[in-house]
Amino acid sequence: MKVIKKLAGPLVVPLSYFFQRPITVQYPDERLVVPKGYRGHPLFTLENCIACRACERACPVNTIQIDMEIKPDGRRIMYGYYLDLGRCLFCGFCADACPTGAIVMGPKLELMEWKREELVYDIRKFQKLKKELRWKPEKPVKRSACAHPENCIGCMFCVETCPVNAISVTTVGDERVLRIDPTVCSGCGMCVKNCPTFALTMTEYAETEYSEYER
Domain residue limits, the chain: 42-133, 143-214
Distance CA 3, CA 7 (A): 6
Note the pLDDT tens digit of each residue in 85-129: 999 999 999 998 888 888 888 888 888 888 888 999 998 888 888
> How much is the pLDDT for 47?
75
Give the start-end residues of each E strand in 30-135: 42-44, 64-70, 76-84, 103-105, 120-121
For all residues of the chain together, what is the average pLDDT? Answer: 79
User: Per-residue pLDDT averaged across 127-133, rounded?
Assistant: 85
> How much is the pLDDT for 215?
40
> How much is the pLDDT for 210?
43
Say which DSSP state 30 is in.
Answer: S
> How much is the pLDDT for 211?
46
Give the start-end residues of each E strand in the chain: 42-44, 64-70, 76-84, 103-105, 120-121, 143-147, 167-172, 175-180, 200-204, 211-214
pLDDT: which is higher, 45 or 175:
45
User: Per-residue pLDDT averaged across 16-33, rounded?
Assistant: 80
pLDDT band at 83 (very low <50, low <70, confident <90, very high): very high
> How much is the pLDDT for 206?
53
What are 177's strand-pairing partners? 170, 214
> How much is the pLDDT for 64?
94
What class does CATH assign to 42-133?
alpha beta
Contact (CB, 8 A) for 56 and 66: yes
Note the pLDDT tens digit of each residue in 158-210: 888 777 778 887 777 777 777 888 777 767 777 777 788 888 887 766 544 44
- Is residue 63 pLDDT above 90, yes or no? yes
Architecture of the domain whose range is 143-214: 2-Layer Sandwich (3.30)
Neighbours of 92 (CB within 10 A): 15
Distance CA 64, CA 85 (A): 9
Instruction: Judge whether 42-133 and 143-214 match in fold.
Output: yes
CA 14 to chain centre: 45
pLDDT band at 62 (very low <50, low <70, confident <90, very high): very high
Contact (CB, 8 A) for 170 and 139: no
Contact (CB, 8 A) for 143 and 187: yes
> How much is the pLDDT for 183?
75
Contact (CB, 8 A) for 48 and 101: yes
- pTM attached to this predicted model: 0.60
- Is residue 136 pLDDT above 80, yes or no? no
